[in-house]
Chains A and B, each alone.
Chain A
């Protein structure tokens, strides 16, 4: 019985919104994924750095974050203590799911972290360079199978952009969607597919151990410490970054928005956050205010175009 008692207390703590919290962070995904890890890192650092005394994380999983987004927009309206973690994947998911609630219905505060895409092949593959891969793609797009994350996500979009830049019909790409980076990685390591695409962090230890060959990264400039050309150097005009952001509730006053922005800026500049970025291998891509708003709308329209090209959005 003791267990049931304990369990019921814990469940109670889970089920009820914690009114004592200074901030409640909604992670619109299941525990374990990138957004959940971002939310839980925010929680730790905010408490550590004294930005907020008590931070709660709540998981509202589903449909590329659009379920959490919709719930956040309707339930937290005007609440200055609620935050939502989101990112580039959400931009695509809003479009592919035809979500009635978009990022316009919340208050984007800042971009926090980013990760560039990496294109890899198994070490035993005959493909040695990005040029070889593009060659094969041009010859028969269907014969080049790509393993990556969920359909319509960053990985899929990146493959569409690569095909387009190489002059190949993006609707012809043979993209094999896996539910997560791990499953996709297993398929690449087992040589089940021709090539793999995902965030560099997913492949890093394999590349270092020599089991995967890194062909290119999707950044604008070469990345420090990573021995691989950019897609641009390989003749493909593609730069894509899988970023994560934090947003506040809709309907905030300017003062409230400024207060949240100040807290997030303090967090992004703190030593604790920099430490988190280092251990997790995330790039610091902090961008806020008008600059972020502008970048966001640019990303949204670019994504819409490519999703139409791949045929995922009508």
Chain B
């Protein structure tokens, strides 16, 4: 039976982890390679890096991080943030990323999704959808949630599936950082309309939220950041909890 996945996400800026695990015994808390290794040893089903480096001159730092991580972690590694072109995707894959997540570029230039999924295969193309509720629909935001495009999120999800995306990483901008739980309505609406797997993101504050994301939101995988980083829960605890709620996980 296929298991639901738990994916810890690390924010990386200028090659360093911004929000990270607060482990006392960690020699270098800002080192993304060490943190990713802790997660993979702890049973993370995949690792996600979100590169939030703002300045262009430091953008290359992520390549070095990916290269070093992929030599130590043997679970799938997804890298997103600032991915603009087929060439960016190519570089990340060559450094050892298994999947690349595309956000703003997928909205501005959907050709990137079509071209890259043809060139590298759908399996490595994740489209990240940042959506915010407006009345009775959800609209796509780009540039890390700053720009409202007015594009309907559910229609966009279908379009990305047809363009060759292998998975969708759906983040609720209303919930992100709030720790009140995923936007279940958004997740289940998108999941029911498309046939590719949905990864739920944005808003996890406790382990029940992960359960809801899968049971109510019909997500194939759940992504979370802060509940793992600050030592509130380990990936292992999360898996055992999901297992106790009857959700199939890899233990």
Are A and B bound to each other?
no
Show the binding face of A for B, using Cβ within 8 Å: none
Show the binding face of B for A, using Cβ within 8 Å: none
